[in-house]
Structure 1
Amino acid sequence: MRGGIGGTLFGLAVLAGAVAGTAAFGDAAPRVELATPGAGGGAIERYTLRFSEPMVPLGDPRATAPAAMACPVGGTGRWIDPQTWVHEFAAALTGGVTCTLALRPGLQSLRGAAVAGERRFTIDTGGPSARAILPGSGEIEEGQLFLVAANVAPDRASVAANAYCAVDGIGEKIAVDLLPPDVPARLVAGLGPNGYDLRNFLGEAGLPEARQGDATARATLLKTVTALKCRRPLPPGRDVALVWG
Protein backbone atom coordinates (compact mmCIF):
# COMPACT_ATOMS: atom_id res chain seq x y z
CA MET A 1 0.00 0.00 0.00
CA ARG A 2 1.32 3.42 -0.86
CA GLY A 3 1.06 6.02 1.81
CA GLY A 4 2.08 9.61 1.45
CA ILE A 5 1.31 10.81 4.91
CA GLY A 6 1.13 14.55 4.94
CA GLY A 7 -1.43 16.74 6.48
CA THR A 8 -2.81 20.08 7.28
CA LEU A 9 -1.72 20.46 10.87
CA PHE A 10 -2.62 23.09 13.39
CA GLY A 11 -0.17 25.97 13.59
CA LEU A 12 0.57 27.57 16.92
CA ALA A 13 -1.01 30.99 16.79
CA VAL A 14 0.04 33.45 19.44
CA LEU A 15 -1.52 36.88 19.51
CA ALA A 16 0.65 39.12 21.64
CA GLY A 17 -0.45 42.54 22.66
CA ALA A 18 0.37 45.44 20.41
CA VAL A 19 3.72 46.92 21.29
CA ALA A 20 3.87 50.63 21.67
CA GLY A 21 7.00 52.65 21.07
CA THR A 22 9.28 53.51 23.96
CA ALA A 23 8.34 56.72 25.66
CA ALA A 24 10.89 59.06 27.11
CA PHE A 25 10.45 60.10 30.71
CA GLY A 26 9.07 63.56 31.34
CA ASP A 27 5.73 64.66 29.97
CA ALA A 28 5.21 61.46 27.94
CA ALA A 29 2.73 59.07 29.54
CA PRO A 30 4.10 55.69 30.63
CA ARG A 31 2.82 52.73 28.65
CA VAL A 32 3.45 49.06 27.93
CA GLU A 33 6.30 48.84 25.44
CA LEU A 34 6.50 45.04 25.32
CA ALA A 35 3.83 42.39 25.88
CA THR A 36 4.88 38.92 24.89
CA PRO A 37 4.63 35.27 25.88
CA GLY A 38 7.72 33.24 26.65
CA ALA A 39 7.99 29.69 25.34
CA GLY A 40 9.75 26.62 26.65
CA GLY A 41 10.00 23.76 24.17
CA GLY A 42 7.31 25.39 22.07
CA ALA A 43 4.81 25.71 24.96
CA ILE A 44 3.88 29.03 26.55
CA GLU A 45 5.06 29.14 30.16
CA ARG A 46 5.07 32.86 31.00
CA TYR A 47 3.86 36.27 29.90
CA THR A 48 5.99 39.40 30.17
CA LEU A 49 4.96 43.05 30.42
CA ARG A 50 7.65 45.69 30.10
CA PHE A 51 6.78 49.31 30.78
CA SER A 52 8.41 52.39 29.30
CA GLU A 53 9.49 53.69 32.71
CA PRO A 54 9.87 52.41 36.30
CA MET A 55 6.64 51.24 37.90
CA VAL A 56 7.85 49.99 41.31
CA PRO A 57 10.87 50.62 43.54
CA LEU A 58 14.02 48.66 42.79
CA GLY A 59 14.27 45.43 44.74
CA ASP A 60 10.54 44.98 45.51
CA PRO A 61 9.41 41.84 43.58
CA ARG A 62 6.23 41.58 45.69
CA ALA A 63 4.92 45.03 44.78
CA THR A 64 1.31 45.16 43.62
CA ALA A 65 0.74 43.42 40.29
CA PRO A 66 0.04 45.85 37.43
CA ALA A 67 -2.44 43.51 35.74
CA ALA A 68 -4.85 40.61 36.27
CA MET A 69 -4.67 37.40 34.24
CA ALA A 70 -7.92 35.64 33.29
CA CYS A 71 -6.92 32.13 32.26
CA PRO A 72 -8.04 28.52 32.83
CA VAL A 73 -4.47 27.79 33.95
CA GLY A 74 -3.39 29.36 37.23
CA GLY A 75 -0.16 31.17 37.90
CA THR A 76 1.66 33.87 39.83
CA GLY A 77 3.24 37.18 38.91
CA ARG A 78 6.33 39.05 40.08
CA TRP A 79 8.42 42.09 39.26
CA ILE A 80 11.88 41.18 37.99
CA ASP A 81 12.99 44.83 37.78
CA PRO A 82 11.26 48.21 38.18
CA GLN A 83 9.93 48.12 34.61
CA THR A 84 9.32 44.42 33.96
CA TRP A 85 6.58 42.18 35.36
CA VAL A 86 6.30 38.47 34.54
CA HIS A 87 3.32 36.14 34.99
CA GLU A 88 4.45 32.51 35.36
CA PHE A 89 1.79 29.92 34.49
CA ALA A 90 1.42 26.97 36.85
CA ALA A 91 1.71 24.67 33.82
CA ALA A 92 2.62 25.21 30.19
CA LEU A 93 -0.44 26.19 28.14
CA THR A 94 -1.83 23.46 25.90
CA GLY A 95 -3.38 24.01 22.49
CA GLY A 96 -6.80 25.64 22.33
CA VAL A 97 -6.34 27.89 25.38
CA THR A 98 -7.18 31.60 25.43
CA CYS A 99 -6.07 33.92 28.23
CA THR A 100 -6.54 37.66 28.71
CA LEU A 101 -4.32 40.03 30.69
CA ALA A 102 -5.84 43.39 31.69
CA LEU A 103 -4.00 46.30 33.30
CA ARG A 104 -5.26 47.36 36.70
CA PRO A 105 -7.65 50.37 36.64
CA GLY A 106 -5.89 53.56 37.67
CA LEU A 107 -2.43 52.04 37.17
CA GLN A 108 0.34 54.61 37.67
CA SER A 109 4.10 54.62 37.27
CA LEU A 110 6.51 55.14 40.16
CA ARG A 111 6.46 58.91 39.52
CA GLY A 112 2.65 58.95 39.70
CA ALA A 113 1.85 59.25 35.99
CA ALA A 114 -1.19 57.35 34.68
CA VAL A 115 -0.40 54.53 32.27
CA ALA A 116 -1.76 55.15 28.76
CA GLY A 117 -2.03 53.05 25.61
CA GLU A 118 -3.05 49.41 25.20
CA ARG A 119 -4.60 47.90 28.34
CA ARG A 120 -5.71 44.41 27.33
CA PHE A 121 -3.52 41.65 25.90
CA THR A 122 -4.56 38.23 24.62
CA ILE A 123 -2.81 34.88 24.39
CA ASP A 124 -4.39 32.37 22.01
CA THR A 125 -2.42 29.14 21.73
CA GLY A 126 -4.50 27.96 18.78
CA GLY A 127 -4.01 24.33 17.87
CA PRO A 128 -0.83 22.31 18.34
CA SER A 129 1.59 22.19 15.42
CA ALA A 130 3.12 18.86 14.46
CA ARG A 131 6.82 18.35 14.95
CA ALA A 132 6.94 14.80 13.66
CA ILE A 133 4.66 12.11 12.20
CA LEU A 134 5.30 8.37 12.12
CA PRO A 135 5.15 6.98 9.52
CA GLY A 136 5.86 10.10 7.50
CA SER A 137 5.97 8.42 4.09
CA GLY A 138 6.42 5.08 2.37
CA GLU A 139 4.44 1.88 2.65
CA ILE A 140 1.72 1.63 5.28
CA GLU A 141 -0.57 -1.12 6.52
CA GLU A 142 -4.34 -1.35 6.12
CA GLY A 143 -4.73 -0.84 9.86
CA GLN A 144 -1.75 1.50 10.26
CA LEU A 145 -1.06 3.06 13.66
CA PHE A 146 0.10 6.67 13.42
CA LEU A 147 2.04 8.71 15.97
CA VAL A 148 1.86 12.50 15.85
CA ALA A 149 4.19 14.57 18.06
CA ALA A 150 3.01 18.14 18.64
CA ASN A 151 4.71 21.14 20.20
CA VAL A 152 2.15 21.16 23.04
CA ALA A 153 -0.21 18.55 24.45
CA PRO A 154 -3.31 18.50 22.19
CA ASP A 155 -6.90 18.33 23.35
CA ARG A 156 -7.87 14.73 22.60
CA ALA A 157 -11.54 15.53 22.04
CA SER A 158 -10.58 18.17 19.47
CA VAL A 159 -8.26 15.75 17.66
CA ALA A 160 -10.98 13.09 17.55
CA ALA A 161 -13.47 15.60 16.16
CA ASN A 162 -11.25 17.21 13.54
CA ALA A 163 -8.61 14.74 12.36
CA TYR A 164 -9.38 12.35 9.51
CA CYS A 165 -7.83 10.13 6.87
CA ALA A 166 -8.12 11.13 3.21
CA VAL A 167 -7.74 8.38 0.60
CA ASP A 168 -7.04 9.10 -3.06
CA GLY A 169 -10.14 8.38 -5.15
CA ILE A 170 -12.53 8.26 -2.18
CA GLY A 171 -14.61 11.39 -1.77
CA GLU A 172 -15.20 11.19 1.94
CA LYS A 173 -13.34 11.81 5.17
CA ILE A 174 -12.52 8.70 7.17
CA ALA A 175 -12.72 9.46 10.88
CA VAL A 176 -9.91 8.48 13.24
CA ASP A 177 -9.93 6.61 16.51
CA LEU A 178 -7.55 7.74 19.24
CA LEU A 179 -5.69 4.98 21.01
CA PRO A 180 -5.16 5.06 24.81
CA PRO A 181 -2.79 7.81 25.99
CA ASP A 182 -0.26 5.26 27.26
CA VAL A 183 0.32 3.70 23.82
CA PRO A 184 3.24 5.98 22.80
CA ALA A 185 5.05 5.27 26.08
CA ARG A 186 4.53 1.52 25.72
CA LEU A 187 5.88 1.60 22.16
CA VAL A 188 8.98 3.50 23.27
CA ALA A 189 9.50 1.19 26.24
CA GLY A 190 9.51 -1.77 23.85
CA LEU A 191 11.91 -0.09 21.44
CA GLY A 192 14.40 -2.67 20.24
CA PRO A 193 17.78 -2.33 18.54
CA ASN A 194 16.06 -2.23 15.12
CA GLY A 195 13.55 0.51 15.95
CA TYR A 196 15.28 3.00 13.66
CA ASP A 197 12.12 4.78 12.46
CA LEU A 198 10.81 5.28 15.98
CA ARG A 199 14.17 6.60 17.17
CA ASN A 200 14.21 9.06 14.27
CA PHE A 201 10.66 10.11 15.10
CA LEU A 202 11.63 10.86 18.71
CA GLY A 203 14.62 12.86 17.51
CA GLU A 204 12.50 14.97 15.14
CA ALA A 205 9.96 15.48 17.93
CA GLY A 206 12.69 16.79 20.24
CA LEU A 207 12.12 13.85 22.58
CA PRO A 208 15.25 11.64 22.32
CA GLU A 209 15.42 11.44 26.11
CA ALA A 210 12.06 9.61 26.11
CA ARG A 211 14.02 6.41 25.46
CA GLN A 212 15.56 6.71 28.92
CA GLY A 213 14.27 7.02 32.46
CA ASP A 214 11.43 5.29 34.27
CA ALA A 215 7.86 4.80 33.10
CA THR A 216 6.56 7.93 34.85
CA ALA A 217 9.20 10.19 33.33
CA ARG A 218 8.63 8.65 29.90
CA ALA A 219 4.87 9.19 30.08
CA THR A 220 5.39 12.83 31.07
CA LEU A 221 7.73 13.45 28.14
CA LEU A 222 5.38 11.78 25.68
CA LYS A 223 2.20 13.65 26.67
CA THR A 224 2.51 15.65 23.43
CA VAL A 225 2.40 12.48 21.31
CA THR A 226 -0.95 11.12 20.09
CA ALA A 227 -1.49 7.60 18.77
CA LEU A 228 -4.38 7.06 16.36
CA LYS A 229 -5.74 4.90 13.54
CA CYS A 230 -8.10 5.44 10.64
CA ARG A 231 -11.51 4.14 11.69
CA ARG A 232 -11.73 1.57 8.91
CA PRO A 233 -9.12 -0.45 6.97
CA LEU A 234 -7.36 1.51 4.26
CA PRO A 235 -7.80 0.19 0.70
CA PRO A 236 -4.67 -1.17 -0.99
CA GLY A 237 -2.97 0.68 -3.83
CA ARG A 238 -4.14 4.15 -2.81
CA ASP A 239 -2.30 7.22 -1.55
CA VAL A 240 -3.34 8.22 1.96
CA ALA A 241 -3.04 11.50 3.85
CA LEU A 242 -3.54 11.97 7.57
CA VAL A 243 -5.20 15.36 8.02
CA TRP A 244 -5.17 16.93 11.46
CA GLY A 245 -7.22 20.11 11.33
Structure 2
Amino acid sequence: MNNIRNTFAATALLAFASWAHALQITSLSPQGEVAQVRQVVAKFDEGAVNFGDPKAPAPLVVSCSDAQAGKGSGRWISDREWAFEFEKDLPPGVSCSLQVRAGFQSPKGAALAANSYKFNTGGPFVQQVRPGTYQRIDEEQFFVLQLNGPATLASLQANVWCNVEGLGEKVPVRLLDGKERQELLKALRLDKAAEKEPLRYASLACNRKLPAAAKVQLVFGKGVVTPTGVANSIEKSFNYEVREPFSASFSCERENAQAACLPVRPMTLTFNAPVVRKLAAQVRLKGASESILPTLDKAEGDDEDAVNSVTFKQLFAERAQFTLELPAGFQDASGRPLRNAESFPL
Protein backbone atom coordinates (compact mmCIF):
# COMPACT_ATOMS: atom_id res chain seq x y z
CA MET A 1 0.00 0.00 0.00
CA ASN A 2 2.80 2.44 0.90
CA ASN A 3 4.49 1.67 -2.42
CA ILE A 4 1.27 2.48 -4.30
CA ARG A 5 0.88 5.74 -2.37
CA ASN A 6 4.49 6.70 -3.00
CA THR A 7 4.16 5.92 -6.72
CA PHE A 8 0.95 7.99 -6.99
CA ALA A 9 2.55 10.91 -5.14
CA ALA A 10 5.62 10.82 -7.38
CA THR A 11 3.45 10.72 -10.51
CA ALA A 12 1.33 13.64 -9.27
CA LEU A 13 4.46 15.63 -8.39
CA LEU A 14 5.94 14.96 -11.82
CA ALA A 15 2.71 16.08 -13.54
CA PHE A 16 2.58 19.26 -11.43
CA ALA A 17 6.24 19.99 -12.20
CA SER A 18 5.60 19.47 -15.93
CA TRP A 19 2.61 21.85 -15.84
CA ALA A 20 4.54 24.40 -13.77
CA HIS A 21 7.35 24.48 -16.33
CA ALA A 22 5.16 24.42 -19.44
CA LEU A 23 5.91 27.09 -22.00
CA GLN A 24 3.17 29.71 -21.91
CA ILE A 25 1.85 32.20 -24.48
CA THR A 26 1.59 35.47 -22.55
CA SER A 27 -0.20 37.41 -25.28
CA LEU A 28 -1.63 36.83 -28.72
CA SER A 29 -3.14 39.40 -31.01
CA PRO A 30 -5.54 39.88 -32.62
CA GLN A 31 -8.43 38.17 -30.86
CA GLY A 32 -12.18 38.69 -31.15
CA GLU A 33 -13.50 41.00 -33.89
CA VAL A 34 -10.86 43.17 -35.54
CA ALA A 35 -11.60 45.17 -38.69
CA GLN A 36 -8.13 45.21 -40.26
CA VAL A 37 -5.72 42.28 -39.91
CA ARG A 38 -2.40 41.72 -41.65
CA GLN A 39 -0.37 40.03 -38.91
CA VAL A 40 -0.74 37.68 -35.93
CA VAL A 41 1.78 38.05 -33.09
CA ALA A 42 2.36 35.59 -30.23
CA LYS A 43 4.62 36.30 -27.23
CA PHE A 44 6.03 33.73 -24.80
CA ASP A 45 7.05 33.80 -21.14
CA GLU A 46 10.55 32.46 -21.90
CA GLY A 47 12.78 31.56 -24.83
CA ALA A 48 10.79 29.26 -27.11
CA VAL A 49 13.48 28.62 -29.76
CA ASN A 50 17.17 29.12 -30.38
CA PHE A 51 16.84 32.47 -32.14
CA GLY A 52 18.42 32.43 -35.57
CA ASP A 53 17.89 28.71 -36.08
CA PRO A 54 16.48 28.47 -39.66
CA LYS A 55 14.80 25.19 -38.74
CA ALA A 56 12.95 26.60 -35.74
CA PRO A 57 9.36 25.33 -36.10
CA ALA A 58 6.22 27.43 -35.97
CA PRO A 59 4.49 27.21 -32.57
CA LEU A 60 0.97 27.65 -33.94
CA VAL A 61 -1.09 26.41 -36.86
CA VAL A 62 -3.16 29.15 -38.54
CA SER A 63 -6.32 28.25 -40.45
CA CYS A 64 -8.94 30.64 -41.88
CA SER A 65 -12.42 30.26 -43.33
CA ASP A 66 -11.12 31.72 -46.59
CA ALA A 67 -8.12 29.55 -47.43
CA GLN A 68 -6.90 31.87 -50.20
CA ALA A 69 -7.07 34.98 -47.99
CA GLY A 70 -5.43 33.05 -45.14
CA LYS A 71 -2.21 32.39 -47.04
CA GLY A 72 0.92 33.73 -45.39
CA SER A 73 4.15 32.81 -43.62
CA GLY A 74 5.48 32.79 -40.07
CA ARG A 75 8.81 33.93 -38.66
CA TRP A 76 10.51 34.30 -35.30
CA ILE A 77 11.12 37.97 -34.41
CA SER A 78 13.06 36.97 -31.29
CA ASP A 79 13.35 33.84 -29.16
CA ARG A 80 10.17 34.96 -27.34
CA GLU A 81 8.10 36.42 -30.17
CA TRP A 82 6.62 34.83 -33.30
CA ALA A 83 4.63 36.51 -36.07
CA PHE A 84 2.47 35.23 -38.90
CA GLU A 85 2.19 37.64 -41.84
CA PHE A 86 -0.74 37.32 -44.23
CA GLU A 87 0.02 37.97 -47.90
CA LYS A 88 -2.65 40.70 -47.95
CA ASP A 89 -4.93 42.42 -45.46
CA LEU A 90 -7.71 40.00 -44.63
CA PRO A 91 -11.02 40.95 -46.26
CA PRO A 92 -14.21 41.30 -44.19
CA GLY A 93 -16.15 38.21 -43.22
CA VAL A 94 -13.10 35.98 -42.55
CA SER A 95 -12.71 33.98 -39.33
CA CYS A 96 -9.40 32.41 -38.31
CA SER A 97 -8.29 30.03 -35.57
CA LEU A 98 -4.85 29.28 -34.15
CA GLN A 99 -4.01 25.93 -32.54
CA VAL A 100 -0.85 25.02 -30.63
CA ARG A 101 1.32 22.80 -32.81
CA ALA A 102 1.41 19.31 -31.37
CA GLY A 103 4.76 18.38 -29.81
CA PHE A 104 6.21 21.90 -29.81
CA GLN A 105 8.87 22.29 -27.10
CA SER A 106 11.35 24.94 -26.06
CA PRO A 107 15.12 24.24 -26.17
CA LYS A 108 14.84 23.44 -22.44
CA GLY A 109 12.24 20.77 -23.18
CA ALA A 110 9.22 22.74 -21.89
CA ALA A 111 6.13 21.79 -23.87
CA LEU A 112 3.88 24.58 -25.11
CA ALA A 113 0.66 24.57 -23.11
CA ALA A 114 -2.29 23.49 -25.24
CA ASN A 115 -4.65 26.32 -26.18
CA SER A 116 -6.61 27.75 -29.08
CA TYR A 117 -7.35 31.30 -30.21
CA LYS A 118 -9.87 32.87 -32.59
CA PHE A 119 -10.50 36.15 -34.34
CA ASN A 120 -12.65 37.43 -37.20
CA THR A 121 -12.55 40.49 -39.43
CA GLY A 122 -16.22 41.42 -39.03
CA GLY A 123 -18.15 43.16 -41.77
CA PRO A 124 -17.07 45.78 -44.33
CA PHE A 125 -15.53 49.08 -43.20
CA VAL A 126 -14.35 52.19 -45.03
CA GLN A 127 -10.62 52.38 -45.70
CA GLN A 128 -10.78 55.66 -47.61
CA VAL A 129 -13.43 58.16 -48.65
CA ARG A 130 -13.24 60.61 -51.55
CA PRO A 131 -13.41 63.53 -51.49
CA GLY A 132 -11.52 63.90 -48.22
CA THR A 133 -13.33 65.53 -45.31
CA TYR A 134 -10.98 68.52 -45.46
CA GLN A 135 -12.56 69.59 -48.77
CA ARG A 136 -15.73 71.63 -49.22
CA ILE A 137 -18.20 69.69 -51.30
CA ASP A 138 -20.56 70.41 -54.17
CA GLU A 139 -24.32 70.71 -53.67
CA GLU A 140 -24.68 67.49 -55.70
CA GLN A 141 -21.43 65.84 -54.60
CA PHE A 142 -20.48 62.32 -55.70
CA PHE A 143 -18.63 60.16 -53.16
CA VAL A 144 -16.50 57.02 -53.47
CA LEU A 145 -16.05 54.73 -50.47
CA GLN A 146 -13.10 52.35 -50.77
CA LEU A 147 -13.92 49.37 -48.54
CA ASN A 148 -11.70 46.66 -47.11
CA GLY A 149 -13.66 44.07 -49.05
CA PRO A 150 -16.87 43.52 -51.00
CA ALA A 151 -20.24 44.75 -49.73
CA THR A 152 -23.66 44.10 -51.23
CA LEU A 153 -25.36 46.98 -53.01
CA ALA A 154 -28.64 46.33 -51.20
CA SER A 155 -27.03 46.66 -47.77
CA LEU A 156 -25.23 49.86 -48.82
CA GLN A 157 -28.51 51.36 -50.02
CA ALA A 158 -30.22 50.43 -46.75
CA ASN A 159 -27.48 51.37 -44.27
CA VAL A 160 -25.64 54.38 -45.69
CA TRP A 161 -27.26 57.82 -45.49
CA CYS A 162 -26.66 61.56 -45.21
CA ASN A 163 -27.41 63.85 -42.28
CA VAL A 164 -27.96 67.42 -43.46
CA GLU A 165 -27.92 70.47 -41.21
CA GLY A 166 -31.42 71.87 -40.87
CA LEU A 167 -33.21 68.65 -41.83
CA GLY A 168 -34.75 66.47 -39.16
CA GLU A 169 -34.54 63.21 -41.08
CA LYS A 170 -32.02 60.97 -42.73
CA VAL A 171 -31.41 61.57 -46.43
CA PRO A 172 -31.01 58.27 -48.29
CA VAL A 173 -28.18 57.82 -50.75
CA ARG A 174 -28.39 57.17 -54.46
CA LEU A 175 -26.00 54.52 -55.77
CA LEU A 176 -24.24 55.58 -58.95
CA ASP A 177 -24.02 53.19 -61.87
CA GLY A 178 -23.40 53.16 -65.59
CA LYS A 179 -21.72 56.17 -67.17
CA GLU A 180 -21.87 58.29 -63.98
CA ARG A 181 -19.95 55.68 -62.01
CA GLN A 182 -17.44 54.97 -64.79
CA GLU A 183 -16.58 58.63 -65.30
CA LEU A 184 -16.23 59.25 -61.55
CA LEU A 185 -13.94 56.26 -60.99
CA LYS A 186 -11.85 57.15 -64.03
CA ALA A 187 -11.43 60.74 -62.82
CA LEU A 188 -10.15 59.39 -59.49
CA ARG A 189 -7.97 56.76 -61.22
CA LEU A 190 -9.84 53.98 -59.48
CA ASP A 191 -11.45 52.50 -62.59
CA LYS A 192 -8.96 49.65 -63.05
CA ALA A 193 -9.08 48.61 -59.40
CA ALA A 194 -12.88 48.77 -59.44
CA GLU A 195 -13.01 46.54 -62.52
CA LYS A 196 -11.23 43.80 -60.57
CA GLU A 197 -13.21 44.24 -57.33
CA PRO A 198 -16.37 46.26 -58.12
CA LEU A 199 -18.06 45.64 -54.76
CA ARG A 200 -15.11 47.18 -52.88
CA TYR A 201 -15.78 50.60 -54.41
CA ALA A 202 -19.12 52.15 -53.48
CA SER A 203 -20.05 55.21 -55.57
CA LEU A 204 -22.97 57.26 -54.30
CA ALA A 205 -24.55 60.66 -53.68
CA CYS A 206 -27.01 62.11 -51.17
CA ASN A 207 -30.43 61.75 -52.78
CA ARG A 208 -31.21 65.48 -52.77
CA LYS A 209 -29.48 68.74 -53.58
CA LEU A 210 -27.54 69.97 -50.56
CA PRO A 211 -28.02 73.51 -49.23
CA ALA A 212 -25.10 75.89 -49.76
CA ALA A 213 -22.82 76.29 -46.71
CA ALA A 214 -24.61 73.48 -44.83
CA LYS A 215 -22.86 70.93 -42.64
CA VAL A 216 -23.31 67.37 -43.91
CA GLN A 217 -22.48 63.93 -42.55
CA LEU A 218 -22.07 60.88 -44.75
CA VAL A 219 -22.86 57.95 -42.44
CA PHE A 220 -21.69 54.37 -43.03
CA GLY A 221 -24.08 52.62 -40.68
CA LYS A 222 -24.22 49.23 -39.04
CA GLY A 223 -25.59 46.40 -41.12
CA VAL A 224 -23.56 46.72 -44.33
CA VAL A 225 -22.86 43.09 -45.24
CA THR A 226 -20.43 41.02 -47.27
CA PRO A 227 -21.78 38.73 -50.00
CA THR A 228 -21.47 35.90 -47.44
CA GLY A 229 -23.75 37.75 -45.00
CA VAL A 230 -21.26 39.06 -42.41
CA ALA A 231 -22.39 42.51 -41.20
CA ASN A 232 -20.31 45.38 -39.87
CA SER A 233 -21.06 46.38 -36.27
CA ILE A 234 -19.50 49.87 -36.12
CA GLU A 235 -21.07 53.09 -37.42
CA LYS A 236 -18.70 55.61 -39.01
CA SER A 237 -19.46 59.23 -39.95
CA PHE A 238 -17.61 61.54 -42.34
CA ASN A 239 -18.13 65.27 -41.80
CA TYR A 240 -18.29 67.80 -44.61
CA GLU A 241 -19.29 71.38 -45.34
CA VAL A 242 -21.02 72.40 -48.56
CA ARG A 243 -19.33 75.24 -50.40
CA GLU A 244 -20.59 78.81 -50.13
CA PRO A 245 -22.88 80.24 -52.87
CA PHE A 246 -21.02 81.57 -55.89
CA SER A 247 -20.03 85.20 -55.44
CA ALA A 248 -17.59 87.79 -56.81
CA SER A 249 -15.78 90.57 -54.96
CA PHE A 250 -13.96 93.64 -56.25
CA SER A 251 -10.74 94.96 -54.70
CA CYS A 252 -8.12 97.64 -55.32
CA GLU A 253 -5.45 99.45 -53.33
CA ARG A 254 -6.52 102.65 -51.57
CA GLU A 255 -4.88 105.16 -49.29
CA ASN A 256 -7.66 104.49 -46.78
CA ALA A 257 -11.01 102.73 -46.65
CA GLN A 258 -12.95 105.79 -47.85
CA ALA A 259 -10.50 106.79 -50.62
CA ALA A 260 -10.81 106.02 -54.31
CA CYS A 261 -8.68 103.31 -55.98
CA LEU A 262 -5.06 104.25 -56.63
CA PRO A 263 -4.77 104.81 -60.42
CA VAL A 264 -1.28 103.28 -60.60
CA ARG A 265 -2.27 100.01 -58.98
CA PRO A 266 -4.28 97.11 -60.51
CA MET A 267 -7.96 96.40 -59.88
CA THR A 268 -9.10 92.81 -59.32
CA LEU A 269 -12.37 90.89 -59.46
CA THR A 270 -12.06 87.67 -57.42
CA PHE A 271 -14.40 84.67 -57.57
CA ASN A 272 -14.93 82.22 -54.69
CA ALA A 273 -15.30 79.37 -57.21
CA PRO A 274 -13.63 78.70 -60.57
CA VAL A 275 -15.09 80.39 -63.68
CA VAL A 276 -14.56 79.16 -67.24
CA ARG A 277 -11.80 81.25 -68.81
CA LYS A 278 -13.81 82.13 -71.92
CA LEU A 279 -16.61 83.62 -69.82
CA ALA A 280 -14.29 85.43 -67.41
CA ALA A 281 -12.52 87.04 -70.37
CA GLN A 282 -15.78 88.84 -71.20
CA VAL A 283 -15.70 90.93 -68.00
CA ARG A 284 -15.14 94.61 -68.89
CA LEU A 285 -14.02 97.73 -67.08
CA LYS A 286 -15.71 100.55 -68.95
CA GLY A 287 -14.79 104.21 -68.82
CA ALA A 288 -16.18 107.25 -70.59
CA SER A 289 -14.29 106.54 -73.80
CA GLU A 290 -12.75 103.07 -73.44
CA SER A 291 -13.51 99.46 -72.60
CA ILE A 292 -10.64 97.65 -70.88
CA LEU A 293 -10.09 93.90 -71.24
CA PRO A 294 -8.97 91.94 -68.19
CA THR A 295 -5.77 90.02 -67.59
CA LEU A 296 -6.62 86.52 -66.39
CA ASP A 297 -4.92 84.85 -63.47
CA LYS A 298 -3.69 82.06 -65.75
CA ALA A 299 -1.38 83.18 -68.54
CA GLU A 300 -1.92 80.20 -70.82
CA GLY A 301 -4.66 77.69 -71.52
CA ASP A 302 -7.66 77.05 -73.73
CA ASP A 303 -11.08 78.64 -73.38
CA GLU A 304 -12.36 75.83 -71.13
CA ASP A 305 -9.71 76.35 -68.42
CA ALA A 306 -11.02 77.79 -65.18
CA VAL A 307 -9.76 80.93 -63.45
CA ASN A 308 -10.37 82.38 -60.00
CA SER A 309 -9.92 86.06 -60.75
CA VAL A 310 -9.47 88.71 -63.42
CA THR A 311 -7.23 91.78 -63.10
CA PHE A 312 -7.09 95.17 -64.80
CA LYS A 313 -3.46 96.29 -64.73
CA GLN A 314 -3.11 99.35 -66.93
CA LEU A 315 -2.41 102.84 -65.63
CA PHE A 316 -5.63 104.75 -65.06
CA ALA A 317 -6.21 108.48 -65.33
CA GLU A 318 -6.70 110.27 -62.02
CA ARG A 319 -10.33 110.91 -61.02
CA ALA A 320 -11.54 108.78 -63.93
CA GLN A 321 -14.88 106.99 -63.50
CA PHE A 322 -15.25 103.29 -64.44
CA THR A 323 -18.01 100.71 -64.41
CA LEU A 324 -17.29 97.00 -63.95
CA GLU A 325 -19.64 94.94 -66.13
CA LEU A 326 -20.22 91.18 -66.25
CA PRO A 327 -21.51 89.26 -69.28
CA ALA A 328 -25.13 88.07 -69.25
CA GLY A 329 -25.67 84.72 -67.55
CA PHE A 330 -22.45 84.92 -65.58
CA GLN A 331 -21.89 81.67 -63.65
CA ASP A 332 -19.17 79.48 -62.19
CA ALA A 333 -17.72 76.37 -63.83
CA SER A 334 -20.41 74.25 -62.14
CA GLY A 335 -23.21 76.33 -63.66
CA ARG A 336 -24.20 78.17 -60.48
CA PRO A 337 -25.48 81.74 -60.96
CA LEU A 338 -23.81 84.62 -59.17
CA ARG A 339 -25.42 85.21 -55.76
CA ASN A 340 -24.57 88.91 -55.70
CA ALA A 341 -25.36 89.58 -59.38
CA GLU A 342 -27.48 92.57 -58.34
CA SER A 343 -24.24 94.33 -57.30
CA PHE A 344 -23.19 94.57 -60.94
CA PRO A 345 -22.55 96.71 -62.93
CA LEU A 346 -20.32 98.05 -60.18
TM-score range with shorter-chain normalisation?
0.5 to 0.7
**Mind listing any 5+ residue stretches in structure 2 that lack a counterpart?**
1-19, 222-346
1:65 corresponding residue in structure 2: 58
Which deviates more from structure 2 when the two are superposed, residues 122-131 or residues 72-81?
122-131
Counterparts of 2:127 and 2:194, CA distance in 1: 19
The structure that has the greater radius of gyration is 2
Matched residue, 2:87: 90
Q: Which residue of 1 aligns with 2:151?
A: 156
Distance in 2, Cα, partners of 1:169 & 1:217: 36
**Residue of structure 2 aligned with 1:110, choices 107, 128, 133:** 107
Report which structure shows greater RCO (CA 8 Å, sep ≥6): 1
What is the alpha-carbon distance in structure 2 between the residues aligned to residue 106 and residue 178 of structure 1? 55
Counterpart contact for 2:70–2:90, Cα < 8 Å:
no
Corresponding residue of 1:119: 116
Match of 1:243 in 2: 219
Cα distance change, pair 66–239 in 1 and its aligned pair in 2 (3 A): same
Q: Within 5 A, what are the aligned runs for 1:213-228?
A: 226-228=202-204
Q: Compute the RMSD of aligned alpha carbons.
A: 4.1
Q: Secondary structure at the match of 2:37?
A: strand
Shift of 1:29: 3.0
TM-score, with structure 1 as normaliser: 0.55
- Name the SS for the 1:186 alignment partner: helix
- Does 1:75 pair with 2:71? yes
Larger deviation: 87-96 or 168-177?
Answer: 168-177
SS in 1 for 2:58: coil
Write the distance in 1 (CA, Å) between the matches of 2:106 and 2:177: 53
Taking the aligned partners of 2:92 and 2:183, their CA distance within structure 1 comes to 21
Amino acid in structure 1 at the alignment position of 2:71? G
Contact 1:60 1:79 in 2 (8 A): no
Aligned length: 186
1:139/1:115 Cα in 2 relative to 1: closer, same or farther (>3 Å)? closer
Structure 1 unpaired stretches of 5+: 1-26, 190-209
Write the letter of the residue equivalent to 2:112. V
Query: Is 1:56 aligned to 2:45, yes or no?
Result: no
1:43, CA displacement in angstroms? 5.0
Q: Which residue of 1 aligns with 2:25?
A: 32
Give, in angstroms, the shift of residue 78 of structure 1. 2.8
- Give, in angstroms, the shift of residue 243 of structure 1: 0.9
Alignment match, 2:209:
234
The alignment's TM-score, normalised by the length of structure 2, stands at 0.42
Q: In structure 1, what is the Cα distance between the partners aligned to 2:193 and 2:127?
A: 22
